[in-house]
Structure 1
Amino acid sequence: MSIFTPTNQIRLTNVAVVRMKKGGKRFEIACYKNKVMSWRSGAERDLDEVLQTNSVFMNVSKGQVAKKEDLSKAFGTDDSTEIYKIYFWKSH
Structure 2
Amino acid sequence: MSIFTPTNQIRLTNVAVVRMKKGGKRFEIACYKNKVMSWRSGAEKDLDEVLQTHSVFVNVSKGQVAKKDDLTKAFGTDDLTEISSFYFT
Do the two structures share a fold, i.e. TM-score over 0.5?
yes
Distance 2:39 2:14 in 1: 16
Q: Percent identity?
A: 89
Gaps of 5+ in 2: none
Unpaired runs of at least 5, structure 1: none
Aligned ranges 1:54-73 → 2 under 5 Å: 54-73=54-73
TM-score after normalising by structure 1: 0.95
For 2:80, the equivalent position in structure 1 comes to 80
Match of 2:49 in 1: 49
Q: In the alignment, what sits opposite 1:37?
A: 37
Deviation of 1:27 after TM superposition, in Å, equals 0.1
Instruction: Name the SS of the counterpart of 1:19 in structure 2.
Output: strand
Counterpart residue number, 1:10: 10
1:3 shift after superposition: 1.2
**TM-score (normalised: structure 2):** 0.98
- Counterpart of 1:32, as a letter, is Y
1:27-64 Cα deviation digits (max 9, x unpaired): 00000000000000000000000000010000000100
